[in-house]
Amino acid sequence: MLKSAIVTSSGTVASEGNPAASKTSTSLGSIGLVFLCTLSGAAAQILMKHGANHITGAGLIGILTNLPLLSGYCVYGVNTLLMVLALRRGHLSVLYPIIALTFVWVTILSPRFFPQDHLNPFKIAGVALIVSGVSLIGLGSRE
């Protein structure tokens, strides 16, 4: 039974040329896409924060005429599309925790864009913990 399974799986491999999809739960391409999502997610958050700090005009007009805020929303849209494409070939339990890297980029980049934000030992420790947690989950999915 085991042997036939191997033959079948190698037959599939030969015909489809995609051993990773059948062997492991989550493809490297999906992990790469979610990684991209975290970068664009951080960009969206920084754009939206920048926009929210500079709203001119009242109510809905203030939001609809605010270019950084609107671009932030658009980037979020692209972000969701990337996430869907990634989820096609991957486990949610592996891909979703990678999103936590967004915290890392926002924490590191915020002081560059918002002078009142500073790095401190707590934030640096938090960044290190999240990076190690995400790496552990990512590496665990490759076994």
Partner 1 sequence: MTTPVSSMALVLGASFIGSFGMVTLKSGADRLAPGILPVFLSWRIAAGVALFLLSSVLFVAGLKNGNLTVLYPLVALGYVWTLFWSRLFFHEPFNRSKLLGLALILVGVIFIGLGNR
Q: Which positions lie near partner 1, rule CB under 8 A?
A: 25, 80-81, 83-85, 87-88, 91-94, 96-97, 100, 103, 107, 119-137, 139-141
Residues with Cβ within 8 Å of 90's Cβ and at least 6 positions away in sequence, in order, are: 25, 26, 27, 30, 31, 34
Nearer to partner 1, 7 or 131 (CB): 131
Nearer to partner 1, 7 or 114 (CB): 114
Nearer to partner 1, 8 or 132 (CB): 132
Q: Alpha-carbon distance 7 to 97, whole Å?
A: 35
Q: Shortest distance, CB of residue 7 to partner 1, whole angstroms? A: 25
Q: Shortest distance, CB of residue 30 to partner 1, whole angstroms? A: 10
CB atoms within 10 A of CB 1: 5
Nearer to partner 1, 10 or 142 (CB): 142
Residues with Cβ within 8 Å of 46's Cβ and at least 6 positions away in sequence, in order, are: 72, 106, 109, 110, 113
Q: Shortest distance, CB of residue 9 to partner 1, whole angstroms? A: 19
Q: How many CA atoms lie within 13 A of 80 on its CB side?
A: 5
